[in-house]
């Protein structure tokens, strides 16, 4: 059983309200909770349709075995990050932008051309701030409806793809402002590697009736799990030869 169009619009209005008011809820009301992945993406699309946000970054989540086990979804999930949520490295980001201090995911961002081919790579920190607190028991479909929990991203300096070398096992280390190591990992944590996430994104966007625009960035899945933050903290991810990306939560 799937949702009726009116239920989809009601769910989208509910999530849109939470997002613009910087609020959270424990769950979606039962009567508008997505029953299928198609329901979930229909709600997500309706939220973006209501908001009319320009999109600068596409996100891929659920790219590890652990995430798929937790969400109960055997494949990646997608979301779209509005331009207002895209920050340059070194940004001072107000905590008031979020409902709660966001969690960090260290990711490789790939920029694509009109053919959907990667042309540049940049270190990135996804800022995860779900409006629905838990998707437990709902197969992760509520998470998908909630923009796959995507809220923002910090992008570091780009490197032309032909100068980036092999990303397959490229290491990443996340540190606090005082130098403490908070998390570490490598691109191998993304099933199939970052390039597979780009291919999935192209197929996913086509399935929703959209093209992947030339110049858009795709964040390809966490290499370091999910790391909490707190207001007043500074966070820096070291991507080795690809450079660093950082921000402060003020």
Q: Residue 97 is part of a domain; what is its CATH number?
A: 3.90.850.10
Please check whether residue 208 lies inside any domain of the structure: yes
Per-residue pLDDT tens over the stretch 165-219: 999 889 999 999 999 999 999 999 999 999 999 999 999 999 999 999 999 999 9
Look at residue 71 and tell me if it is in a domain. Answer: yes
- Partners of residue 67 on adjacent β-strands: none
Give the whole-angstrom CA distance, residue 94 versus residue 99. Answer: 11
Count of domains for the chain:
1
In a domain, 43, yes or no: no
pTM: 0.94
Scanning the structure block, which residue is given the tokens 């191998």?
188
User: How do residues 86-100 score in pLDDT, each as one tens digit?
Assistant: 999 999 999 999 999
CA distances from 41 to 27, 86, 204 (A): 17, 22, 10
Assess if residue 78 is contained within a domain: yes
Residue at 23 is within a domain: no
The two structure tokens encoding residue 214 = 């030339």
């Amino acid at each position: 059983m799937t949702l009726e169009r009116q239920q989809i619009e009601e769910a989208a209005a509910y999530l849109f309200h939470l997002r613009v008011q910087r609020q959270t809820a424990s769950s979606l009301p039962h009567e508008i909770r997505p029953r299928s992945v198609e329901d979930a993406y229909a709600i997500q699309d309706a939220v973006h349709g209501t908001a009319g946000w320009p999109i600068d970054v596409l996100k891929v989540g659920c790219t590890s075995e652990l995430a798929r086990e937790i969400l109960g979804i055997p494949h990646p999930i997608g979301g779209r990050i509005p331009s207002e949520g895209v920050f340059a490295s070194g940004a001072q980001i107000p905590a008031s932008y979020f409902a709660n201090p966001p969690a960090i995911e260290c990711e490789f961002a790939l920029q694509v051309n009109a053919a959907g081919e990667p042309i540049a790579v940049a270190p990135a920190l996804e800022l995860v701030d779900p409006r629905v607190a838990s998707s437990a028991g709902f197969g992760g479909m509520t998470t998908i409806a909630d923009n796959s929990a995507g809220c923002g991203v910090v992008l570091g300096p780009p490197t032309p793809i032909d100068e980036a070398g092999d990303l397959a096992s490229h290491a990443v280390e996340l540190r606090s402002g005082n130098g403490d190591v908070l998390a570490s990992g490598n691109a191998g944590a993304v099933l199939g590697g970052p390039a597979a996430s780009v291919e999935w994104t192209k197929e996913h966007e086509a399935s929703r009736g959209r093209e992947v625009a030339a110049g858009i960035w795709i964040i390809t899945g966490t290499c370091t799990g999910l790391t909490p933050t707190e207001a007043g903290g500074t966070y820096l991810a070291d991507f080795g030869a690809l450079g660093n990306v950082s921000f402060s939560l003020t």
